[in-house]
C-alpha cells in the first residue's frame, strides 16, 4: 500500500488541530482512502495499547511510607519565600535547569553576593577555593549550590560515606558535579572556561546539548561571530568560517579507553551477554579509575543478570555498592543484593 500524502491531516484531526472545514474534508476523504483509514484506526488503537505498558504495583504500606516521607521532607524544608507567577523568561529557564533545587536556588538568589576574594570555604564534602570571584553558596543536607557570577573558582567534592551533590549555577547554564575536582571561570556574564582535574562534570546550557567532561578535559565556549563592518563591505575573498561547536580537548589516550568501553556496551546491546560480561570485567580491572567505570560496573551487573547467573549478579551488585555507595544506580543495585527483582 502506498502511503497517502493526506495522512498527516488524519493525525492533525485526531489531535484537534484542524478547523471544522478541514476536519470535514479529511473525514470525507478518509471514507474512500484505505491508507488514511489505516492511519485513523492505528491512532485509535494506540492509546489502549500503550495503557498495557507495565507499571510496577504499589502496596498500601509503601504508599503510606512515601506519603509520610513527603510530609516529613516538606515540614523540614525551610519556609522559603515563594516566587510569584510573573517570572521572566530567564528566571524560568534557570528554574527548568535546576528544578529539583528550585527553592534552594530561590534562597541563594536572595542572598547578597559575597565580597570579591572571600577565603576558601570548606564543609565536610565541598571545598571552594576562589581565585578572584563574585560568588555565593548555599548548603542544605546532601546538596551544595554555588552561584558564580564572575571570576574563577576551584571546587573539590570529597567522596565520603554520605552522598553529596554539588550544582554550580552559572550566568548561562549550570554544572552538575559527578564527584570531582574542577576549575570554572566566568567573565562578562558567560562561562569562559572549565577544566576538570579529577572525576567528571556535566555542563548544561539552555537550548544546547549537555556536555560531559571527564578528568583531563578542558572546555571553552564557541568563538563569538566576527564583528560586522560598518561601511559597505566588499565581498570577502575567503568565505567566513562556519560556526564552531564549543571546544573540548581530550588527552589522546582517552580515545582508546572510550573505544574499549563502547565495544563492551555494543556486545551487551547485541545480546552477547557473556562476552559483554568478560569485556566489562576487563575494563574495570584495567581502568577502575576511569569516569566510565561506574557505568561499566553497573552494566556488568546487568550482563550477569541477563546470562541468568543470580549468584554472580548479586555479587556484582554488592561490588557496585562497595565501590559507589552514592552511585546513580544505587537503588537498583540494592534491590538486586536484597534479592528482589
Partner 1 sequence: MKALSRVDASATKSDAELLARVAEGELGALGAVYDRHCESIRRFVARATCGHADADDLVHDAFLTAARIAARFDGRASARPWLIGIAARLVQRRARGLGRIPRLLARLAWTRPQALDPVDALEARSALDRMAPAVARMTADKRIVLLMAELEGMTGPEIAEALEIPIGTVWTRLHHARRDVMRAIDLIPRDEAKPR
Give the footprint of partner 1 on residues 157-216 (CB under 8 A). 176, 202, 204, 210, 212
Give the number of C-alpha atoms closer than 13 A to the C-alpha of residue 311, restricted to the C-beta side: 0
Kindly state whether residue 51 participates in binding partner 1, applying the rule CB under 8 A: yes
Cβ-based neighbours of 204, under 8 Å, separated by 6 or more: 97, 173, 174, 175, 176, 210, 211
Q: Give dist(CA 338, CA 319) in Å, integer.
A: 13
5 touches partner 1 by CB under 8 A: yes
b/e map of 7-40 (b: 16 or more CB within 10 Å)? bebbeebbeeebeeeeeeebeeebeebebbebbb
**Binding residue for partner 1, selected from 23, 83, 91, 246, defined by CB under 8 A:** 83
18 lines the binding site for partner 1 (CB under 8 A)? no
User: Is 305:315 a contact under the CB 8 Å cutoff?
Assistant: no
**Least distance (Å) between residue 295 CB and partner 1:** 5
**Alpha carbon distance 108, 138 (integer Å):** 6
From 10, 39, 168, 175, residue interacting with partner 1 (rule: CB under 8 A): 39
Shortest spacing between CB 265 and partner 1, in angstroms: 6
Q: Tell me: does residue 80 bind partner 1 (CB under 8 A).
A: yes
Using the rule CB under 8 A, is 103 a contact of partner 1?
yes
Which residue, 76 or 120, has its beta carbon nearer to partner 1? Answer: 76
User: How many residues bind to partner 1 according to rule CB under 8 A?
Assistant: 74
| Contacts with 44 (C-beta within 8 Å, 6 or more apart), sequence order | none
According to the binding rule CB under 8 A, does residue 100 interact with partner 1? yes
Q: Which of the ranges 49-57, 124-132, 142-150, 225-233 carries the binding residues for partner 1, by CB under 8 A?
A: 49-57
Q: Is 15 in the site for partner 1 (CB under 8 A)?
A: yes
H-run or E-run covering 8: helix 7-14
Binding residue for partner 1, selected from 11, 149, 154, 319, defined by CB under 8 A: 11
- Contact call for residue 85 and partner 1 (CB under 8 A): yes
- String of contacts with partner 1 for each residue 270-309, x by CB under 8 A: ---x------------------x-xx---x--x--xxxx-
**Least separation in angstroms between CB 340 and partner 1:** 10
Cα distances (Å, whole numbers) of residue 77 to 72, 144, 163, 307: 9, 15, 19, 45
Chain residues 216-275 in contact with partner 1, contact rule CB under 8 A = 265, 268-269, 273
Least distance (Å) between residue 38 CB and partner 1: 6
314 near partner 1, rule: CB under 8 A? no
Cβ count within 10 A of residue 119: 8
Q: Kindly indicate which of the ranges 58-66, 146-154, 183-191, 235-243 contains the residues binding partner 1, using the contact rule CB under 8 A.
A: 58-66
Least Cα distance to 143 among 163, 119, 173 occurs for 163
Q: Minimum Å distance from CB 80 to partner 1? A: 7
Q: What is the DSSP letter of 253?
A: H
**Of residues 181 and 214, the one with the C-beta less far from partner 1:** 214
CB-based contact 1:34 (threshold 8 Å): yes
Q: Which residues pair with 248 in a beta bridge?
A: 219
Amino acid at each position: 500500500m502506498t502511503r497517502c500524502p493526506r495522512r498527516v491531516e488524519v493525525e492533525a484531526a485526531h489531535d484537534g488541530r484542524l478547523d471544522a472545514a478541514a476536519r470535514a474534508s479529511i473525514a470525507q476523504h478518509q471514507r474512500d482512502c484505505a491508507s488514511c483509514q489505516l492511519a485513523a484506526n492505528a491512532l485509535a488503537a494506540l492509546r489502549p495499547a500503550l495503557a498495557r505498558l507495565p507499571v510496577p504495583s504499589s502496596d498500601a504500606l509503601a504508599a503510606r511510607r512515601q506519603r509520610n516521607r513527603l510530609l516529613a521532607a516538606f515540614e523540614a524544608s525551610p519556609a522559603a519565600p515563594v516566587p510569584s507567577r510573573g517570572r521572566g523568561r530567564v528566571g524560568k529557564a534557570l528554574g527548568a535547569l535546576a528544578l529539583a533545587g528550585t527553592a534552594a536556588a530561590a534562597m541563594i538568589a536572595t542572598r547578597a553576593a559575597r565580597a570579591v576574594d572571600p577565603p576558601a570555604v570548606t564543609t565536610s564534602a565541598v571545598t571552594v577555593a576562589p581565585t578572584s570571584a563574585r560568588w555565593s553558596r548555599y548548603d542544605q543536607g546532601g546538596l551544595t549550590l554555588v552561584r558564580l557570577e564572575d571570576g574563577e573558582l576551584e571546587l573539590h567534592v570529597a567522596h565520603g560515606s554520605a552522598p553529596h551533590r554539588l550544582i554550580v549555577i552559572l550566568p548561562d547554564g549550570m554544572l552538575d558535579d559527578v564527584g570531582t575536582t574542577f576549575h570554572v571561570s566566568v567573565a562578562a556574564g558567560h562561562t569562559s572556561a572549565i577544566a576538570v582535574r579529577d572525576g567528571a562534570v556535566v555542563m548544561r546550557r539552555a537550548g544546547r546539548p549537555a556536555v560531559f567532561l571527564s578528568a583531563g578535559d578542558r572546555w571553552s565556549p564557541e568563538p563569538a561571530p566576527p564583528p560586522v563592518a560598518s561601511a559597505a563591505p566588499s565581498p570577502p575573498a575567503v568565505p567566513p568560517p562556519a560556526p564552531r561547536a564549543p571546544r573540548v580537548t581530550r588527552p589522546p589516550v582517552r580515545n582508546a579507553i572510550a573505544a574499549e568501553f563502547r565495544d563492551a556496551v555494543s556486545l551487551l546491546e547485541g545480546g552477547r551477554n557473556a562476552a559483554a560480561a568478560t569485556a566489562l570485567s576487563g575494563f574495570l580491572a584495567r581502568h577502575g579509575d576511569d569516569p566510565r567505570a561506574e557505568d561499566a560496573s553497573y552494566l556488568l551487573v546487568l550482563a550477569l543478570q541477563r546470562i541468568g547467573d543470580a549468584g554472580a549478579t548479586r555479587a556484582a551488585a554488592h561490588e557496585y555498592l562497595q565501590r559507589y555507595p552514592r552511585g546513580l544506580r544505587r537503588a537498583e543495585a540494592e534491590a538486586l543484593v536484597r534479592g528482589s527483582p
